[in-house]
């Protein structure tokens, strides 16, 4: 940590690799001397708890509200489950990679979990931080190959790891310090995440305005005749998307038999995003091209427009040199623009605009679609500017979206730096690398004014 925090006056070698040097007054005990393994049978009225690295220990009902896909309710009762008291700690395979989870709830967990209860008087809040800090997690992982063989860590493995122990008052002070400081960091992270969401909204607004209102604020407008579209430039027309394509098709099932390590790209849902009209090539599948009409029909040409028709409906990209001569899956609609389209990128921006999203969400359909047909793709209502304006709009949006991307990258970097600082601060405090015994909650200006009054 930086010089903002002072160190203890004297240190000693803990004799424990993951702890290193600790304050001279601190002691070290094996985990089994601080925590015991509890095998108490679930009580009749216990609620079933779920454990995850992201959310910690929560009632199943609350975990499901948070959309945790790993939540599974016991179908045959909880007779074999283990009781958890408030302030117990829980180890599970799912949370093991991220440390050991603290429970502020009472309830029960399945036998796949190890329940820990303190046998010494401790600050649960302090150990909540300690058992989730990076050095401890590394020490925990080094004791077992459980992540590889599919078994959860045992109490014996946990109990053999040495943990620091200091006075209860000092534990409470460290925990109070971390509560305050991590809350400040979390607030800054939230602000950056809010900024990212605002950038997404602004980005979408810029796209939608450009493709439905144009770039000239002084151009005469007219009623489009479409209620949700409103006014459009007077010299533009309204057309269905089928008039912009030579054909609209998709891949078919059965391509898995042609997967290979070499060959052309097989373009899938994973290669599309609503965040960009460029291909997302993080995860690439390649194929050996089948003979016959199927290979010809679903082959990508440069400037084709690819649209998702199942998951994340309406995600779009324009085929560039990176996917030229590739092939599409059955989940992708391959659309080939005709002579009315001078810029495929303009047309792609139209499709990811809010005006098209409105159509996906029910306007003109009578309900939210969960899958698009090729006929649906042909029925999108789009604004049609002259050819030179298509290129102008596409060029403008390319430039604007690049600026948004840069701002987004800066915000993401700030979040990562804040997370790194949070991790480092927790590790330094719980292992005694910084001395916070004299720390006090800073007095705000408002509080100071109240005191003076």
Q: In the chain, what are the domain boundaries? A: 27-165, 237-384
Q: Highest-confidence range of 163-167, 329-333, 367-371, by mean pLDDT?
A: 163-167
Contact 356, 314 (CB under 8 A): yes
pLDDT, tens digit, for every residue of 276-298? 899 988 888 888 877 665 667 88
Task: Please report, for residues 11, 159, 361, 391, 419, the alpha-carbon distance to residue 2 in angstroms, rounded to integers and kept in the order given.
Answer: 18, 33, 51, 52, 16
Domains 27-165 and 237-384 in one fold: yes
- What is the model's pTM? 0.83
User: Pseudo-torsion of CA 224, 228, 233, 238, nearest 10°?
Assistant: -50
Per CATH, domain 237-384 is 3.90.220.20 = yes
Beta bridge partners of 232: 222
pLDDT, tens digit, for every residue of 240-276? 999 999 999 988 777 888 888 888 899 988 898 888 8
pLDDT of residue 2 exceeding 60? no
Per CATH, domain 27-165 is 3.90.340.10 = no
């Amino acid at each position: 940590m930086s010089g903002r925090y002072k160190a203890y006056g004297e240190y000693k070698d803990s004799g424990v690799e993951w702890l290193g040097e600790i304050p001279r007054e601190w002691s070290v005990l094996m985990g089994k001397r601080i925590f015991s393994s509890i095998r108490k049978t679930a009580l009749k009225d216990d609620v079933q708890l779920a454990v995850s690295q992201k959310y910690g220990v929560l009632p199943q009902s609350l975990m499901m509200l948070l959309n945790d896909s790993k939540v599974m309710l016991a179908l045959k009762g909880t007779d074999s489950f283990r009781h958890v008291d408030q302030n117990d700690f829980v180890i599970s395979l799912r949370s093991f990679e991220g440390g050991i989870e603290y429970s502020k709830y009472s309830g029960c967990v399945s036998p796949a979990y190890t329940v820990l209860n303190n046998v010494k008087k401790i600050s649960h809040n302090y150990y909540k931080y300690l058992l989730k800090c990076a050095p401890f997690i590394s020490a925990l992982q080094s004791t077992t190959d459980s992540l590889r063989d599919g078994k959860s860590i045992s109490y014996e493995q946990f109990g053999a790891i040495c943990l620091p122990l200091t006075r209860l008052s000092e534990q409470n002070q460290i925990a109070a310090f971390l509560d305050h400081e991590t809350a400040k960091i979390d607030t800054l992270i939230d602000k950056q995440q809010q900024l990212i969401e605002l950038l997404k909204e602004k980005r979408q607004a810029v796209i939608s305005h450009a493709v439905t209102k144009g770039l000239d604020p002084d151009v005469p407008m007219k009623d489009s005749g479409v209620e949700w579209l409103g006014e459009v430039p007077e010299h533009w027309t309204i057309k269905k998307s089928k008039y912009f394509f030579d054909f609209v098709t998709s891949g078919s099932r059965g391509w898995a038999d042609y997967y290979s390590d070499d060959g052309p790209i097989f373009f899938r849902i994973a290669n599309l995003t609503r965040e960009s009209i460029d291909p997302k090539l993080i995860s690439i599948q390649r194929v050996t091209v089948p003979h016959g009409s199927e290979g010809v029909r679903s082959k990508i040409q440069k400037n084709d427009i690819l649209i998702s028709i199942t998951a994340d409906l309406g995600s779009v990209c324009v085929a560039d040199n990176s996917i030229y001569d590739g092939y599409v899956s059955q989940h992708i609609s391959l659309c080939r623009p005709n002579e009315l389209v001078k810029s495929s990128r303009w047309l792609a921006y139209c499709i990811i605009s809010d005006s098209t999203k409105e159509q996906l969400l029910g306007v003109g359909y009578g309900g939210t679609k969960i899958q698009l047909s090729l006929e649906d793709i042909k029925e999108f209502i789009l604004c049609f500017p002259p050819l030179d304006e298509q290129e102008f709009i596409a060029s403008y949006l390319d430039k604007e979206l690049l600026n948004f991307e840069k701002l987004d990258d800066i915000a993401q970097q700030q979040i990562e730096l804040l997370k790194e600082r949070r991790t480092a601060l927790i590790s330094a405090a719980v292992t005694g690398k910084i001395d916070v015994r004299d720390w006090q909650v800073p007095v705000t200006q408002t509080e100071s004014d109240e005191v003076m009054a």
